[in-house]
Amino acid sequence: MSFLLTCPNCGPRDVNEFSCAGEVTVRPKSTPTLRQLSEYVYFRRNVAGVQREWWYHRFGCEVWFQAERDTRTNEVLSTEIVEPTGRAGTSGPQEAAIPDSPAV
Partner 1 sequence: MFTFRGKRVKAFEGDTLGSALYAAGQRVFSRSFKYHRPRGLLCCSGSCPNCMMTVDGVPNVRVCAEPVRAGASVEPQNVRGSLEHDLLAVTDKMGGPFTPVGFYYRTMIRPRRAWPLYEKFLRSVAGLGRIDPHAERSRRYDTEHRHADVLVVGGGPAGQEAAARHAAAGSHVVVVEEDPYREVTPGDFELVRGRALGIWEGGLVPVDGGNVLYRYRADRIVVATGAVEQPLVFPGNDLVGVMLPQAVHRLVEQWSIKPGERAVVVTTDENGREATASLRRAGVEVAGVYDLRRERIREIVGHGRKGVLRSVELDGRKIDCDLLVMSGGRQPAYSLLSQAGARIEYAPESALFVPTEIPEGVEAVGAVTGDGISAAAPAATYNGASGKGKCFVCVCEDVTDKDLKRAIAEGFDSIELAKRYTTVTMGPCQGRLCHVPSIRVYARENETDPGSIGTTTARPPWGPVTLGLLAGRPHEPAQRTSIHHRHKELGGHMMWTGTWRRPHSYGDVEAEVQAVHGAVGMIDVSTLGKLIVSGPDAAEFLERLYPNRFGDMKPGRIRYGVLNTDSGRIMDDGTIARLSEDTYYVTTTSTGAGAVVEWFEWWNAVWGYDVQISDVTGGLAAVNVAGPRARDLLGRVTDLDVSNEGVSYLDARQGQIAGVPCLVLRIGFVGELGYELHFPSPYGEYMWDTLLETGEDLGIRPFGLEPQRVLRLEKMHILVGQDTDSESNVIEANMAWIAKLDKDDFVGKWALEHVQARGMREQLVGFEMEDGRVPPEGGQVVIKERTPVGRITSARWSPELRKVIGMAWVPAELAHDGAEFFVTMNGGFDKAHVRLQPFFDPDGERLRS
Which residues have CB under 8 Å from 32's CB, separation 6+? 40
In whole angstroms, give the CA distance from residue 70 to residue 48: 7
Applying CB under 8 A, which of residues 64, 68, 71, 79 lies at the interface with partner 1? 64
Q: What whole-number distance in Å separates Cα of residue 79 and Cα of residue 94? A: 20
80 is a site residue for partner 1 (CB under 8 A): no
Q: Which helix (H) or strand (E) holds 34?
A: helix 34-42
Least distance from C-beta 75 to partner 1, angstroms?
A: 9
Closest separation in Å from C-beta 11 to partner 1: 13
- The yes or no reply on residue 89 touching partner 1 (CB under 8 A) is yes
26 touching partner 1, by CB under 8 A: no
Residue choice 47, 58, 60, 77 for contact with partner 1 (CB under 8 A): 58
Sheet holding 75-80, edge to edge: 19-23, 50-56, 64-70, 75-80
Binding region for partner 1 (CB under 8 A): 1-4, 14-15, 19, 21, 27-28, 31-32, 34, 37, 40-42, 54, 56, 58, 62-65, 74, 81-89, 91, 94-104
